[in-house]
Amino acid sequence: AQSVTQLGSHVSVSEGALVLLRCNYSSSVPPYLFWYVQYPNQGLQLLLKYTTGATLVKGINGFEAEFKKSETSFHLTKPSAHMSDAAEYFCAVSGPGGYQKVTFGTGTKLQVIP
Amino acid sequence: DAMVIQNPRYQVTQFGKPVTLSCSQTLNHNVMYWYQQKSSQAPKLLFHYYDKDFNNEADTPDNFQSRRPNTSFCFLDIRSPGLGDAAMYLCATSSEAGRNQPQHFGDGTRLSIL
pLDDT tens for each residue of A24-66: 999 877 888 999 999 988 899 999 999 888 899 999 999 999 9
pLDDT at position A99 is 60
Strand-by-strand arrangement of the B4-7 sheet: B4-7, B19-25, B73-78, B64-67
Contact B33, B45 (CB under 8 A): yes
For residue B33, what are the CA distances in angstroms to B44, B57, B84? 10, 11, 21
Residue A47 CA to residue A26 CA, distance in Å, equals 21
- How far away is chain A from the Cα of B107, in angstroms, using its nearest Cα? 4
Greatest Cα-to-Cα distance within chain B, rounded to the nearest angstrom: 40
For residue B35, what are the CA distances in angstroms to A96, A113, B84? 19, 31, 15
pLDDT at position A46 is 94
Given B43, B98, B102, which is nearest A46 (Cβ)?
B102
User: Do B45 and A101 count as a contact with CB atoms less than 8 A apart?
Assistant: yes
- Chain A residues touching residue B103 (CB < 8 angstroms): 44, 46, 100, 102
Residues 33-72 of B with CB under 8 A from A: 40-43, 45, 48, 50, 55
Given A41, A95, A106, which is nearest B41 (Cβ)?
A106
B13-47 residues labelled b (16+ CB within 10 A) or e (exposed): beeeeebebbbbbebebbbbbbbbbeeeebbbbbb
User: Do A94 and B99 count as a contact with CB atoms less than 8 A apart?
Assistant: yes
Please give the angle made by the CA atoms of A65, A68 and A74, to the nearest 5 degrees: 40
- Given a cut of 60, whether residue A98 has pLDDT beyond it is no
- How far away is chain A from the Cα of B25, in angstroms, using its nearest Cα? 14
Query: pLDDT tens digits, chain B, 114 residues: what are they?
Result: 669 999 999 999 999 999 999 999 999 999 999 999 998 889 999 999 988 888 888 899 999 999 999 999 999 999 999 999 999 999 999 987 666 788 999 999 999 999
- Given a cut of 90, whether residue A4 has pLDDT beyond it is yes
Least confident of A20-24, A72-76, A99-103, B67-71: A99-103
- Given a cut of 60, whether residue A101 has pLDDT beyond it is yes
- The identity of residue B48, as a single letter, is H
- Chain B residues touching residue A98 (CB < 8 angstroms): 97-99
Contact A77, A57 (CB under 8 A): no
pLDDT at position B58 is 86
- How far away is chain B from the Cα of A62, in angstroms, using its nearest Cα? 19
